[in-house]
C-alpha cells in the first residue's frame, strides 16, 4: 500500500521538480492489475460511470513461462493535495478488493 508519507514525499518532489503548477488540475492516471482480463473489463465500467476515462487494458507481455498480468489504466483531470490523493488511493484499494482484483497498483501524474 502507498502510505501517506509517500504522498508527502511525492508532492514535495513535484513541487521542487515538476514543470507544472500543483494548484491547478492535473492529469492523474491510476492502475489496477489482475491475471484475469475479464475482471478488469468488468471493473472498468463503474470507474467510467464515476467520470474516469478508460485509457486501456494492457497485457504485461510476460515471458513464455510466466502467466499473463493485465493492467487497467484510467485517467481523470483533477486537483489533488496530499490528503485527497491519499484518500483516493484508499478508495481504490477498497475498490480493487470489492471487485476481486489482484491489486490497485498506484498512480502517475502529468500536465492536464
Nearby residues of 56 by Cβ (< 8 Å), 6 or more positions away? 72, 73
Q: How confident is the model at residue 64 (pLDDT cuts 50, 70, 90)?
A: low
The confidence score (pLDDT) of residue 77 equals: 98
pLDDT tens track for 29-48? 999 999 999 999 999 999 99
Domains: count for the chain: 1
The CATH number assigned to the domain holding 59 equals: 3.30.70.970
The confidence score (pLDDT) of residue 62 equals: 65
The confidence score (pLDDT) of residue 68 equals: 74
Which range marks the domain in which residue 103 is found?
4-17+26-111
Contact (CB, 8 A) for 72 and 43: yes
pLDDT tens track for 79-111? 999 999 999 999 999 999 999 999 999 999 999
Amino acid at each position: 500500500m502507498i502510505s501517506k508519507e509517500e504522498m508527502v514525499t511525492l508532492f514535495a518532489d513535484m513541487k521542487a521538480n515538476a514543470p507544472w503548477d500543483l494548484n491547478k488540475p492535473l492529469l492523474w492516471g491510476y492502475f489496477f492489475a489482475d491475471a484475469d482480463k475479464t475482471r478488469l473489463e468488468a471493473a472498468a465500467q463503474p470507474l467510467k460511470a464515476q467520470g474516469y476515462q478508460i485509457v486501456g487494458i494492457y497485457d504485461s507481455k510476460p515471458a513464455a513461462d510466466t502467466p499473463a498480468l493485465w493492467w487497467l489504466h484510467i485517467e481523470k483531470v483533477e486537483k489533488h493535495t496530499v490528503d485527497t490523493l491519499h484518500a483516493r488511493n484508499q478508495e481504490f484499494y477498497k475498490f480493487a478488493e470489492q471487485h476481486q482484483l489482484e491489486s490497485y497498483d498506484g498512480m502517475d501524474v502529468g500536465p492536464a
